[in-house]
Amino acid sequence: MNLALFDFDGTITKKETISEFLRFCIGNTRFVLAVVRVFPSILGYFSGLIGNQEVKERLLFETVGGWQEEWLVEKGQEFAKKRLPSLIRPKALEQIRWHKERGDRIVLISASLIYYLRPWADIVGIKEVIGVELEIADGRITGKLLGKNCYGAEKVRRLKELLDISNFDEIYAYGDSRGDREMLALANYPFFRPFK
C-alpha cells in the first residue's frame, strides 16, 4: 500500500485559511481590530524574535478566546461547506481523487485548525486528519494550542505517532512551504507547490 500526505494551506488551498476562518467567525471589523492588537507579535515573528506558535496563540486568544468550543465546532462545519470550496485548488482535488482511486492511504496534515479540516476532509472522503487543536478549559477556548503547532518536524512526529511509515511501499507528499520540508523529505515522491 502507498501513502499520500497532503499539506492544506497553500497546497490544497489558494491561500492561508486560519485568518479566513477567524474572519468568518467574528466578522471583518473585529478581526482587523484583533490583528492590530497582535501586530507587535507579528513583527516579532518576521524579525525572528518569536515563534509561529506564539503568534498563532495570540491571534486565537484575541479572536476566539473565551468562546465555547461547541460554537467553534459549528463554525468550522459551516466554513467547510460554505467558504472552503471557493478556496480549493481543482488540481489538488484531482490528485486526491487519483490517490483514492488507487487505494492509497491519505493523510491530511496541516498547521490549520481541525475544526474545519475534519469537516472538509469528510466531504472529500479523507479519513485521517492531523491538525491543530485548541486547549479548552471549562468548555471554553483559552487561545492556547493543545500541544505544539503542527509545523515542520512536528508534522513528522505526529505522523509517526499515527502510523508506521515503514509499512508503505511508496510515499507521496505534497507541500508548499518551509513548514513542509521534513514531511517532503520522508517521501519517495515529494512535490513542492505542485498545484500552482
The answer as to whether 37 is a domain residue is: no
| pLDDT recorded at residue 48 | 85
Instruction: Quote the percentage of the chain above a pLDDT of 90.
Output: 93
Q: Could you give the number of structural domains in the chain?
A: 1
How confident is the model over 89-116, as a mean pLDDT?
97
- Name the pLDDT band for 137 (thresholds 50, 70, 90): very high
Q: Which residue has the higher pLDDT, 49 or 29?
A: 29
| pLDDT recorded at residue 74 | 97
The answer as to whether 158 is a domain residue is: yes
Residue 1's nearest CA partner among 191, 172, 185 is 172
Show the domain range for 11.
Answer: 3-15+68-192
Average pLDDT over all residues of the chain: 96
Alpha carbons 126 and 106: distance in angstroms, whole number? 6
The answer as to whether 20 is a domain residue is: no
The answer as to whether 187 is a domain residue is: yes
The answer as to whether 155 is a domain residue is: yes
The answer as to whether 126 is a domain residue is: yes
Residue 115 has pLDDT above 90, yes or no: yes
Residue 18 has pLDDT above 90, yes or no: yes
How confident is the model over 89-108, as a mean pLDDT?
98
Q: In three state form, how does the secondary structure of the chain look?
A: CCEEEECCCCCCECCCCHHHHHHHHHCHHHHHHHHHHHHHHHHHHHCCCCCHHHHHHHHHHHHHCCCEHHHHHHHHHHHHHHCHHHHECHHHHHHHHHHHHHCCEEEEEEEEEHHHHHHHHHHHCCCEEEEECEEEECCEEEEEECCCCCCCHHHHHHHHHHCCHHHCCCEEEEECCHHHHHHHHCCCEEEECCCC
Q: Which residue has the higher pLDDT, 26 or 45?
A: 26
pTM: 0.94
The answer as to whether 21 is a domain residue is: no
| pLDDT recorded at residue 146 | 95
pLDDT digit string, tens, across residues 148-191: 999 999 999 999 999 999 999 999 999 999 999 999 999 999 99
Find out whether 14 and 87 touch, Cβ atoms under 8 Å.
yes
pLDDT digit string, tens, across residues 39-71: 999 888 888 888 889 999 999 999 999 999 999
The answer as to whether 39 is a domain residue is: no
Domain harbouring 121, CATH code? 3.40.50.1000
